[in-house]
Amino acid sequence: MDYIIHYDVAAFVITLAITLHFCFKKSIDTYRTQLFSLLVGLELVSSALDLVTMYTINNPQVLPNIWHYILNGIYLLSFNATSAVYFAYIVSTVKKKRKIKPLEKALILLPFCIDVLLTATTPGTGLIFVITETGEYVHGPLFLVLYANAMLYVLSSQVYSVVYRAIFTRGQLVVVCVYTISSFVVLVIQMMFPNLMIAQFAVAIAVFLIYLSLENPQDYTEREIGTYNKAAFEKILTADIENERHFSVFAVELGGMQYISETLGIESANGILKQFGEFVTEAAGKRKVFYLSENRFAILSESRREAWGKLADAVRVRCMEPFYADSVPLSLTALLCVADYPEDAVRLADIEALIDICLEEAAVHPDADGGIVFADVGMLEKHRREGRIIQLMKTALQEKQFAVFYQPIFSVEKQRFTSAEALIRLQNDELGFISPEEFIPLAEKNGMILEIGEFVFREVCRFIVEERLLARGIEYIEVNLSVVQCMQESLYRDLLDIMDEYHLPYPCINLEITETAAVMSHETLMRNMNKLIEQGVNFSLDDYGTGFSNTTFVIRYPFRIVKIDKSMVWSAMKDEKAMYALKYTMAMVKAMGMELVAEGVENEDHIRLLTELGCDFFQGYYYSRPVNGEMFLERIGAQ
């Protein structure tokens, strides 16, 4: 028979081109990718053998009959195997897991096993094909079974694609449909024109379309930088997690990239990232390198508890040397962290969250263990708790679930409660009592602190007016200001407007600020303080005796009251040096004409000592814990 082989030659060339491109481009090693590699390999073998067997059929004298059976048998099995592997590829795509159900395995293997059985026994039975004594190739009575099984795989693939169509893009569905339709058309053409070898060409085109739509390595590479991208990172980690394969992730965040982008432009920044990408790819060796975001890279190792010290040292040394953008030398810093599966987390989202958490920790504590922050389960639990607290705060603001408690302050001169400190409280059935020391920093970080601060201030103003606290002997209520509030230019106006809304005398509010707030908002705070003091509002320096305890703040700012932190009071009761520090601190403050409040007063020894040192006010559990508004009214009513 005179075969028309042009389409077979084209099929071989197309498949060979796909094979070479696939091998030399970055690809990710997943079960689905392995199946695609097998599909390409089978098509390459099949198209090559088709050309070989056409030659041997036309020239039977070149080989003994047994080799004709072997070559034709291998060709037919490799051709049908492409359909079986294609179906397995579609199943793995929709399942997204390596583990396939027993029924699906049977559907994949059974038709091909029938093909193998019929083809292997053909030399004795002639069921698939016969090589006559004259060397002529003749189809056997069950040859169409091979076509039927191939079409069964194609139809099954189409059914899976339709049933699970939500997983595919429109373009991918089109590819599957084209493959199905073309398979039927090619089958009909092949049966009508046996000498027109078009089947391999159709399969090659289908493989090419699959490569473009589902397995193109460019989908998983960051071309400008030369590494794998985030999609590849998530795909590989998902596959590893689903198959319970251990891995370790080393993440690097480059500091200074935003400045480079803003000053020198995005192209210069990309050039720097490319330089670092090339360096870290070489330093990582066989381990895969991924570019995750604007300034973040990750290196993946399949070794359990990988030793990353050598790579970390290499990164730090490289960052000590300049990077160049248009001959301009630039310096970068590197934050480093490590997360392991399954020791630290068991979900992709948790691994990514741990990387974020650890790099934030590395920014705060750059002198971590070897310069690397190592993830642990506790970090993730803390992150989840913080997320829950943030959500609770949002709900509490919307539904006014925050509570304001009051801790009475005892006047030594008047021997009664004359003021109180307002303290915010957050209670939840699930998490119980949540300390302000925990949720206030989260509120500052997430931008809710201004709303919370306004809520507390309004609630205090309302309480003073509605409960007629001035008539009950309370001269003022102390309200804490957060760092963020102190940084607001409009702070004085906002507070005065709220007091005016409640027709509240300005002197009945005393505002507490910390040294941290004073450091971070010096000029703005000073302007706000002066404007509020002009209206009669007073200020206290809170927690004196902690942090830097710099006397500059006491001198520079117009405080009326200094509040001595409880740690300073308690230390003085145990240590002679601490006693001298407390004594001279209080003497200094009194000499400057300011009043003193001692926090943490819990027993009569505290009272006796602080009275001798000239303290003006006591605040602590000896007199009262922070209590709600109703109990506070009872306390001051019992005086």
pLDDT tens readout for residues 210-235: 888 777 667 788 878 889 999 889 98
For residue 193, name the pLDDT band (cuts at 50, 70, 90). Answer: confident
Identify the residue whose tokens are 């491109």.
21
- Are 44 and 12 in contact by the 8 Å Cβ rule? The answer is yes
Whether the bond into 342 is cis, omega within 30 of 0? yes
Neighbours of 570 (CB within 10 A): 16
- For the ranges 366-370, 568-572, 595-599, the one whose mean pLDDT is highest: 595-599
- At 20, list the tokens: 């070479």
Residue 549 has a pLDDT of 55
Quick one: what percent of the chain has pLDDT higher than 70?
96
- Three-state SS at 59: coil
**Region 124-148 average pLDDT:** 88
Nearest in space to 250 (alpha carbons), one of 314, 321, 311: 311
Write out the DSSP string of 519-560: HHTHHHHHHHHHHHHHTT-EEEEEEETBTT--HHHHHHS--S
- Are 380 and 354 in contact by the 8 Å Cβ rule? The answer is yes
63 phi-psi bin (left φ>0, alpha ψ -120 to 50, beta other): beta
**Region 556-571 average pLDDT:** 92
Please give the Cα distance from 9 to 66 (Å, whole number). Answer: 26
> Nearest-5° angle of CA 425, CA 429, CA 434?
35
pLDDT greater than 90 at residue 639: no
Alpha carbon 82 to its chain centroid, in Å, reads 39
Q: Which of 9-13, 363-367, 468-472 has the least mean pLDDT?
A: 363-367
Residue 522 has a pLDDT of 78
Residue 445 has a pLDDT of 85
pLDDT greater than 80 at residue 366: no
- Are 119 and 140 in contact by the 8 Å Cβ rule? The answer is no
Tens digit of pLDDT for each residue in 270-312? Answer: 888 999 999 999 999 989 999 998 789 999 998 776 789 899 9
Q: Which residue has the higher pLDDT, 243 or 409?
A: 409
Alpha carbon 288 to its chain centroid, in Å, reads 19
- Are 406 and 421 in contact by the 8 Å Cβ rule? The answer is yes
What is residue 335's DSSP assignment? E
> Residue 27 contacts by C-beta under 8 Å, 6 or more apart in sequence?
33, 215, 217, 220
- At 157, list the tokens: 């693939």
**Region 538-566 average pLDDT:** 84
**Region 449-459 average pLDDT:** 94
Instruction: State which amino acid sits at residue 29.
Output: D
Instruction: State which amino acid sits at residue 256.
Output: G
Give the pTM.
Answer: 0.64
Tens digit of pLDDT for each residue in 391-415? Answer: 999 999 988 889 999 999 999 999 9
| Number of residues that this document lists for the chain | 639
For residue 98, name the pLDDT band (cuts at 50, 70, 90). Answer: very low
> Residue 261 contacts by C-beta under 8 Å, 6 or more apart in sequence?
268, 269, 294
Report which secondary-structure segment, H or E, holds 341. strand 333-341
pLDDT greater than 90 at residue 511: yes
Report which secondary-structure segment, H or E, holds 258. helix 257-264
Alpha carbon 366 to its chain centroid, in Å, reads 20
Pairing of strands 432-434, 509-513: unpaired
Please give the Cα distance from 150 to 83 (Å, whole number). Answer: 6
Please give the Cα distance from 605 to 601 (Å, whole number). Answer: 9
